[in-house]
Amino acid sequence: MTKAWHPQWWVCVALAVWSGAAAGSRAAEDEPPALNPFGPVKQDRDDALPGYVELSDGSIYAGSVYMTRDKRLKIWDANLQRQREIPLRAVRQIECKVEKEWIEREWRFKELALDEKMYTGRKYPARLYVHTITLRSDGRTITGPLAEIIYVRPYAEASAGLDASQIEPKRFLLHKRDKGEPGTDLKSLVYVKLVKLGKEAYEEGKAKAERSAKPKTSKSAKKKGVEKEAAVEEKDAEEPAQGSTRRK
């Protein structure tokens, strides 16, 4: 005679199986994903673009270029007489030019309660900038004042197995107006001269950075080298003549 199984027993078995499966899935979720040493290296955010930033002192920073997430470039369009908001992905390049620069005197109030100012005897550099945005789609340009923050994070080398998100990005300010510290000059007031975006721009930036990293020989060093070579040649020319005199 076959013994009948109680319905509650089947319910208990089903609950036990379900609990075990759920515990296993939670444990799998808690564990970090396995690292594949041969897999692609994670680079950066999905809204970042390859490119480079060039400063007025000649410094080049190539890598992944981006802004604050969901942020757009806000520039005043003089032709349309309104502010334009342009996403970074629609931009080919941003070029900055100096509109005006001067040395400003530093003033401060004599007393907090008075409006009278006094000259501190110190001066500082000041500049006004104008930016030109070139659109990627049709090459149209928009020129006007612009104030934004641009980030550049170097790409991680695949051979090193690095995660680009762990590399600290460089932060650059695009100014409408800027000023330096008292006692400094205009040359020391460095600004973002150019931002170029795209794969070709990134390769161009890498090449520029490599060229600028090479040590440059000064004119005085070159002159000393030429003088040294001339002295060696003159010495070599004199030695055979002295030897022939001794033989006579």
- Using 50, 70 and 90 to split pLDDT, how confident is the model at 91? very high
Count Cβ atoms below 10 Å from residue 129 Cβ, excluding itself: 21
CB crowding 136-172: b at 16 or more within 10 Å, else e? eeeeeebbbbbebebbbbbbbeeeeebebeeeebeeb
Read off the pLDDT of residues 15-46 as tens digits, 9 standing for 90 and up: 555 665 555 554 444 444 454 544 444 455 78
Q: Which of 1-10, 142-151, 193-202, 209-218 has the lowest mean pLDDT?
A: 1-10
Question: Contact, 129 vs 143, CB < 8 A?
Answer: no
Q: 9-13, 37-41, 227-231: lowest mean pLDDT where?
A: 37-41
0.95 exceeded by the pTM?
no
State residue 231's pLDDT score. Answer: 61
* Ranges of H-type helices in 65-142: none
Q: Is 242 helix (H, G, I), strand (E, B) or coil?
A: helix
pLDDT tens for each residue of 114-126:
778 888 889 999 9
Mean pLDDT for the chain?
A: 79
pLDDT tens, 139-193?
A: 999 999 999 999 999 987 655 556 666 788 999 999 999 999 999 999 999 999 9
